[in-house]
Amino acid sequence: MHNHNTLRRGSHRRLVALICTLFFYASILSPTHAHEQTLPEIGAPSGSVLTPSEEQKLGQAFMRSIRKTMDLLDDPLANSYIQSLGNRLAQQTGSTAGSYNFFIVDNPQVNAFAGPAGNIGVYTGLITTTESESELASVMAHEIAHVSQNHLVRTYDAVSRMSVPAAAMILAAIVIGAAANNPDAAVAAATGIQAGMVQRQINFTRNHEEEADNIGIQILAAADFDPRSMPVFFDRMGQATRLYDTGQLPEFLRTHPVTSNRIADAHGRADQYRYRQRPDSLEYHLLRAQLKASEFTQDKNAVQFFGSSLRDGRYRNEEGQRYGYMLSLIAAREMDRAREQLNILLKQRPQQIHYIVADALLLKKTGQPDQGIAALIDGLTLYPGNYPLTIYLAQSLLEAGRPAEAIPVLEKQVAGHPDDSSLYKLLAQAAGDSGDTTLGRQYLAEYHYHSGNLEPAMQQLQLALSDRKLDYYRSAKMAARLKLIRQELADLKKRGK
């Protein structure tokens, strides 16, 4: 488990990094508001604040900062699930596919946040704390409502009317959940800002929280989840509040204060919908088990936990618990016992992607990498173009010394995942290992860029352009890309980042 002080120091570094990025965008996107201090009406149209292009730029900068300063879960199956669940909810707002980007922060804190341009982060600690898929969906629906109702854009308008440094600091604090609804924390985060100005902004965001609860419950009902899961989760968080000193509250309770009035309001709204008991998806239970297994510092303790809970019948979902047991046994290098458990799962669902991936992993770890690769290829026959299977296949091909085969497999995914830094990292490795140094540098540049490291991205493109064998088309394409990144870096430096 993570050390508490380390987490606090990490949170501070993350806040500082994000403040710097948003400070730059606050100054270039809304310079005319720099010295005004009038808060907008709640219903102010977002189009007068940021154009779609400007908001997209802000969202891209936000994600580069997030990738650079926070630990994101690099697991294709987990990320595919959270994106799928998020898309299902977001569709109820009339959003088109690809309008939202959902990602998982690898952190045991109970928290979630919404950033600009539909970027929504969910912490691993939140996922393992929820007791049903509807509870997880309720928190995500709440964050989606912040986006669909333009809360961040409205907040941007409000804070951009202050001085630019004040605007950037408050916006950064709100975005990552450092001070959204906690007066003391907000004042601390926005050092040097008049307390009254901060308090007005906090009152403004409290209205956002109420509206997000209301819209979130509507989203839940429309997506066929249990609307009562939101007040139920709030109830449990409210009970947890009494177990902590104020300074020790979980991050979710700091940024989403659960008052008796808020719980009562949520119950009242949810009671307007007929009761529905929706079973959790298997994928939800598999993800919870996977994350639970990873929480143990010693693999043998995870084996003991899952093994005893299966024997005693202490679980919400037997299949999910067995999956966690199997993963723990693999981690503990008890391969024969892991194979026994996996065979039980495969007998139940031979076409379940999680089990196909686990089968390939177990085959690789028992000295049969080619058979593992074959299992993944068979899986892609069942599910053509499946992103998790593609990534695991590419990784297996690289580990087996077959990088040239990995390149076309990975390149098919670029169009659908243009901002996926881990995809570019794999492509860079595959190209480099196969002997195409120039292509490797080109993909490595994209990896650095989407990870928030602009200078290394420029350096890699410059090295790639020094290849005298480059054809005109590739050379021109890379030169144009280098020009864009160089301009962005120059703007950042000019604004004092």
The annotation places the binding site at 142, 146, 209
Q: How far apart are CA 202 and CA 471, in angstroms?
A: 56
Among 75, 135, 143, 446, the one annotated catalytic: 143
Lookup: tokens for 220: 């839940």
CA-based nearest residue to 220, from 291, 151, 132 = 132
- Give the Cα separation of 34 and 15 in Å (integer): 22
As given in the structure block, the two tokens for residue 356 are 């196909």
Cα separation, 220 vs 202, in Å, equals 26
Catalytic residue list contains 143: yes
Half-sphere exposure of 25 (CA within 13 A, CB side): 25
Q: Which of 55, 135, 213, 319 is flagged as catalytic?
A: 213
For CA atoms 72, 98, 415, 375, give the dihedral sign.
positive
Number of Cβ atoms within 10 Å of the Cβ of 47 = 10
Write the DSSP string, 327-360.
Answer: HHHHHTT-HHHHHHHHHHHHHH-TT-HHHHHHHH
| C-alpha–C-alpha distance, residues 67 and 116, integer Å | 15
Tokens for 392? 């695991």
How many Å from the N-terminal Cα to the C-terminal Cα in the chain?
Answer: 34
318 is annotated as an active-site residue: no
Question: Side chain identity at 80, as an amino acid letter?
Answer: S
Q: How many CB atoms lie within 10 A of CB 401?
A: 8
CB 356 within 8 A of CB 379: yes
Enumerate residues 6+ apart whose C-beta is below 8 A from 120.
Answer: 86, 100, 101, 102, 103, 112, 113, 114, 140, 143, 144, 147
Residues 6+ apart with CB under 8 A from 334: 303
> Which of 186, 105, 177, 96 has its CA nearest to residue 142?
177
Annotated binding site for Zn(2+): 142, 146, 209
Phi, psi of 259 (to 5 degrees): -95, 165
Type of residue at 97: A
Sheet holding 119-123, edge to edge: 101-105, 119-123, 112-114
3-state secondary structure of 168: helix
Cα distance between residue 228 and residue 137, in whole Å: 11
Name the residues annotated as catalytic: 143, 213
